[in-house]
Amino acid sequence: MDTLVAGQVMTFHGDPFEIPPTEAVRVDSDAAMLLRDGRIAAIGGRAQMQADHPEAALTDFGPGLIVPGFVDAHAHYPQTAMIASWGKRLIDWLDSYTFPEEARFADRSYATTIAERYLDLLLANGTTTVASFCTIHPGSVDALFEAAEARGMRIVAGKTCMDRDTAPEALRDTAQSAYDDSKALIGRWHGRGRATYAITPRFSPTSTPDQLDALGRLWAEHPSCLMQTHLSEQTDEIDWVRGLYPEARDYLDTYEAHGLVREGALFGHAIHLTPREIDHLRASDCALIHCPTSNTFIGSGLFDMGARQAERQRVGLATDTGGGSSFSMLRTMAAAYEIGQLTHTALHPAQLIWLATRGSARALRLEDRIGSLAPGMEADFTVLDLASTPAIAQRAIRAETIWEELFPTIMMGDDRAILATCVAGVQARPA
């Protein structure tokens, strides 16, 4: 049955880092979308759409702002229960909090509990797609893909691979078992329903060159998979990589030497880059994933969005839960704005929303299916209440443009601002 969804509808007409943001991103204040078979069939003015489709059931969100479902381009679902752990920087934070928690995912029922909890938190926050790391346990990957399938969500995930003695023994695989387990998971999940598999070496410090080589071969055998990892998040980490890979030209080269740098590669953080790395990432059309709440929470540094956009890099936006301190892409946009201010780039609200939707979808190479509202796209969308709290409402009421009205929700909004989250045309939240 056809459904009409009415409200204020946001559509994209270009890249807001290439053309003026308010030309690239437009809001029709009295619009409707026709949904059919999980996709958007048409978008137009509300009155015309109602006249054209009198048979369709109407869901009216009034002044609610309908935006594409948020796309979180880098997260660690196994870190859900240890988010907001105090007082450490990257390497100590991994050793003290992250690895002990990830070891618990040897228990498949624990993995299922956290996977379900995590995806429900995402939906409550308006996020309809995530690219998540799992743990080294294949069961942790099955748990997440199953939970996403049950919710109808488009998802990207992969088994985290670590075979160096820099990782605790309970969290180590081998080059061969990482290859074999990842291959079996690709066979089970890649392209099934809305699932995409990402080959996932955690980062160079916890993999041997043999393991990176095996995963490079696996990717060559399954080129439509994505590859996700970390790059140049903290300066201590870069020094560590230099010691472990004395022959490498730089951090990126540790991946490049094993066939892991090409289109479809997703590099989390990518803050402290050399000119060679910047040039090669651009030439290879890799995606850089900005994780702003994580970069301040773990004390990593400032991603230079203005410089990366001027170079025309492919950039996504992400929470990096639980190094990131939030499940919310609204909070993540606010943090991206704040880091932009510190790097002398005032990001326009239209640029922030675009990064959290189409920008991240482009990073994941899913922009032909999700990340924007247009005929033919999958009907994943989120409806924002632009006056969700008294503090936001009293500011929004003085706004003269939709951008001035939206910005307080970006800066101060949380899950209370999510009026509804719809996945493939079905309302997932509130249930």
Give me the residues that bind ligand GUN (CB under 6 A), please.
Answer: 76, 90, 94, 98, 202-203, 230, 233, 294, 298, 320, 323
Between CA 48 and CA 53, with CA 50 as vertex, the angle to 5 degrees is 105
Axis-axis angle for helices 108-124, 138-151 (nearest 10) = 40
Residue 320 interacting with Zn ion (CB under 5 A): yes
Between CA 143 and CA 148, with CA 145 as vertex, the angle to 5 degrees is 105
How far apart are CB 328 and Zn ion at their closest, in Å?
17
The residue at minimum Cβ distance from ligand GUN is 323
How far apart are CB 202 and ligand GUN at their closest, in Å?
5
How far apart are CB 15 and Zn ion at their closest, in Å?
26
Identify what 70 binds: Zn ion, ligand GUN, none; CB under 5 to 8 Å per kind.
none
Identify what 16 binds: ligand GUN, Zn ion, none; CB under 5 to 8 Å per kind.
none
Identify what 203 binds: ligand GUN, Zn ion, none; CB under 5 to 8 Å per kind.
ligand GUN
How far apart are CB 19 and Zn ion at their closest, in Å?
32
User: Cβ(403)–Cβ(350) under 8 Å?
Assistant: yes
User: Cβ(160)–Cβ(200) under 8 Å?
Assistant: yes
Alpha carbon distances (Å) from 127 to 31, 80, 258, 306, 346: 22, 15, 33, 25, 24
Measured from the CB atom, the residue of 77 and 337 that comes closer to Zn ion is 77
How far apart are CB 233 and ligand GUN at their closest, in Å?
5
Measured from the CB atom, the residue of 99 and 403 that comes closer to ligand GUN is 99
Beta bridge partners of 131: 156
Considering only residues 68, 205, 268, 322, which one is a binding residue for Zn ion as defined by CB under 5 A? Answer: 268
Beta bridge partners of 130: 72, 155
Measured from the CB atom, the residue of 78 and 216 that comes closer to ligand GUN is 78
Measured from the CB atom, the residue of 7 and 323 that comes closer to ligand GUN is 323
Between CA 22 and CA 236, with CA 355 as vertex, the angle to 5 degrees is 140
- Residue 270 phi/psi, 5-degree rounding, is 45, 55
Measured from the CB atom, the residue of 69 and 322 that comes closer to Zn ion is 322
Measured from the CB atom, the residue of 202 and 395 that comes closer to Zn ion is 202
How far apart are CB 297 and ligand GUN at their closest, in Å?
9
Q: Which of 430, 429, 420 is nearest to 5 (CA)?
A: 420
Q: Which of 293, 246, 300 is nearest to 91 (CA)?
A: 300
Identify what 256 binds: ligand GUN, Zn ion, none; CB under 5 to 8 Å per kind.
none
CA distance 181 to 137: 9
How far apart are CB 113 and ligand GUN at their closest, in Å?
20
Q: Which positions lie near Zn ion, rule CB under 5 A?
A: 268, 320
